[in-house]
Amino acid sequence: MREKEFEKWIERNTIFQNSIRKECTRKLSEIFIDRYRTIYLILMAVFIVGWMSYTDLPRENIPEVESNMVIISSVYSGASPDDIEEMITNPIEDAIAGQDDLIGYTSTSASGFARIILEFEFGIDMDETVDEVKKEIDGLDLPDEASEPNIMHLKTGEIPIMSMSVTGDMDLASISEAAEDLKTAFEAVPGVDSVELSGETESIVAITVHPVEMEAYGVSVNALSQAISAVNIGLPAGAAEMDGKKFNVRVDEAFNDIDDIRQVLVKTATGSVRVGDIADVNWVNDEGDQISRTYRKEAGVFTTPVVYMQVYRDNGADTIGPVNEIVKILEEEKGKLYPKDMEVIITSNFAEDVEDSLGTVMDSALSGLLVVVLVLFLFIDLREAIIVSLVIPLSMFTSFILMNQVGITFNTISLMGFVIALGLLVDNAIVVIENIDRIRDYG
């Protein structure tokens, strides 16, 4: 008896729930049907705001991925592997062994080279961790002949979006100067974080002494160096008060030109002599221990000096927009920002890869949409095909609005997610449309 009453109660409860569900569905449908003009305005707003969000979305090939590994490397030319391990690798290992969230590390000590790879826990603030590692490394007493340890944290966002070679049939100093001007212009482009140069030269003052004149005046190289250093002064000298006002006092006797160096007086046994009388003072280009040159077909069999440039974008910034702006600067500012006879060769353009990747996935999505609309048109009706063709873009634009709000970039990963989700959406839309069409035929 109780079982039958319980079954009847379940049946009544089920009927009640179904009636409530139908009533809610009916009322919800009436809202959309009776206020169709408002719904049209909402749909138009979604399309407009969605399109604006789509144009504002940063585009990149892959989303930014931050690894949990830090690589420390140092070069000590001529040192044996045993010396590298004792003087560089072991001190670094001892310094970082107590780091928080450190899982482990592996080290390599080779001839003239040391490398330590640190692995940390996932989910920690890697920027803060890298800063802590740098503090520990800076406190080490490593050999003076060894290079300063290079600490690198791998991020996909640190891949340069553009690489260029600045070259021409001129001296490296002129090319370096133009590259610095280009760097300043590129770093002002929105979305560009930094521009790195390599192979550039630095102008320095070279003082070449005349041994005969130096001996004749009885001046040593040390005395010459001390005389120049003594007058090349630029430092604050305190504060002074005058007429009730306080002024900062500064001694500014730093050299402004090489002629100032030539006029410096050096004390001799019989008086003094000017630097220009016992030495040659000239600007020279310091190329360091590296030579950067490139071969161009236009230059014939000769190579020309070159300065390499790498452009890095801000974290989460667009890839295509900054690159297009840089290309525009190169085209419009030639002859103004840099000489006409200087050539800027774009050796890599990451924006092209991004456009190709996103374009391929987008073409696949649009092709699938057209196939679905065509199938619905052939097997059901034109009206149903139009409904589905509107539902899919509406869903995409709604997603673009949400992506823009939460900071998700438009990349191949998110776009592949779109394709999968749209496939599910299309399947459900076809089932719903076909069911509506079937029920409508029943009258």
CA 411 to chain centre: 15
Cβ-count burial of 154 within 10 angstroms (0-12 exposed, 13-18 middle, 19+ buried)?
middle
Q: Give dist(CA 319, CA 351) in Å, integer.
A: 6
What percentage of the chain reaches a pLDDT higher than 70?
87
Choice between 165 and 441, residue whose per-residue pLDDT is larger: 165
Q: C-alpha distances in angstroms, 432 versus 355, 368, 443? A: 35, 19, 17
Q: Which of 27-31, 57-61, 219-223 has the highest mean pLDDT?
A: 219-223
Averaged pLDDT for residues 190-216: 82
Q: Per residue in 377-417, pLDDT tens?
A: 787 777 777 777 777 778 888 888 888 888 788 777 887 78
What percentage of the chain reaches a pLDDT higher than 90?
0
Residue of 106, 108, 117, 104 lying closest to 85 (CA atoms): 108
Averaged pLDDT for residues 84-89: 87
Averaged pLDDT for residues 296-321: 78
Q: What is the pLDDT of residue 70?
A: 86
Cβ(149)–Cβ(72) below 8 Å: yes
Q: Is the pLDDT of residue 334 over 70?
A: yes
Number of residues written out for the chain:
443
Choice between 240 and 185, residue whose per-residue pLDDT is larger: 185
Q: Which of 38-42, 105-109, 286-290 has the highest mean pLDDT?
A: 105-109
Q: Is the pLDDT of residue 204 over 60?
A: yes
Q: What is the pLDDT of residue 100?
A: 81
Cβ-count burial of 235 within 10 angstroms (0-12 exposed, 13-18 middle, 19+ buried)?
exposed
Q: Per residue in 32-66, pLDDT tens?
A: 777 778 878 888 888 899 888 888 888 777 777 77
pTM of the model: 0.62
Residues 6+ apart with CB under 8 A from 327: 346
Q: What is the pLDDT of residue 6?
A: 58
Helix or strand holding residue 350 (H, E): helix 350-379
